[in-house]
Structure 1
């Protein structure tokens, strides 16, 4: 994935993003919007700047509510789609298996292969590409309090240059996370670096919980 600097926005927002490990715009592809808003210094204006910049490269935030950071008058710049259903990340016709094999580093390819096997065994479903860099399983529809609606995968993963991202956070996983091994937790996802340092049974249970929740 190409390297693109973060867009111009407030100094507190840029500092918060970099402190959280987001030094490049491409690293934000598939990151949960609520997770970014939870960072001190990141507000609707920063989300708007990020959304506009990411759209130019075909990237998108996960769980994106287009009304957050909307331009004056309610115009949602950079959001895809119209009307009530404005989901920014949609299913593509790219083969997940081929995409994994095309990843730039051996570690990403190895982790991608391992996750294709694990998620396939747990869910019994075929994977699909959601946006340019997320491998997803299943489908769910959501409605925000604002009235906006969208669709997303039920669970999935994304092998990135810095870490492996798993979209497996579901209610009641705290005990599992304590036994998983080294990880960082976001609002809706886990960030992993070494699969060989994790409890594989716990990892499988996390995927199962996310799929069944």
Structure 2
């Protein structure tokens, strides 16, 4: 049976951010904390060892795998800051065109610093992700 690795836990978000070595990344993390909270209304929670998530949903795939995940989140990684939005949302790609300096993987959007991006587009990405996941997984 599959065991989900990244789970919500009771670790302190502020203590985690305070341990971020790079001062600018630490400042950006506190700025993102405010933006994500103000946009979602959800308190920040640690997911696994390094993801700061907001809200949660329960997913269940057709082949039986299920689990819980944050609706949106971010992680101040060593190289870049990872932003987590829903990947199935078709509006995501359109919004990313106006987002600012970033790179995108399948599940993450990576930025160097908050000043590189458009905050209003970030808020829209957050809102769209939450809406998409709530519509897709209404029981979670």
Q: Is the Cα contact below 8 Å between 2:72 and 2:129 reproduced in 1? A: yes
Q: Does 1:101 align with 2:2?
A: no
Match of 1:136 in 2: 53
Structure 1 consecutive aligned stretches of length 4 or more whose deviation exceeds 3 Å:
none
Q: Which has the higher strand share?
A: 2
Aligned residue pairs, count: 130
Q: Does 1:189 align with 2:108?
A: yes
- Stretches of structure 2 that go unaligned for 5 or more consecutive residues are 133-140
- What is the CA RMSD across the aligned residues, in angstroms? 1.5
- Taking the aligned partners of 2:62 and 2:5, their CA distance within structure 1 comes to 17
Q: Is the Cα contact below 8 Å between 1:169 and 1:190 reproduced in 2? A: no
Higher relative contact order (CA 8 A, sep 6+): 2
Residue 129 of structure 1, CA deviation: 0.3
Match of 1:165 in 2: 82
Which of the pair has more CA radius of gyration?
Answer: 1
Residue 197 of structure 1, CA deviation: 2.1
Residue 158 of structure 1, CA deviation: 0.2
Show CA shifts across 1:118-144 (max 9, x none). Answer: 000001111110000000011111123
The TM-score with structure 1 as length reference comes to 0.58
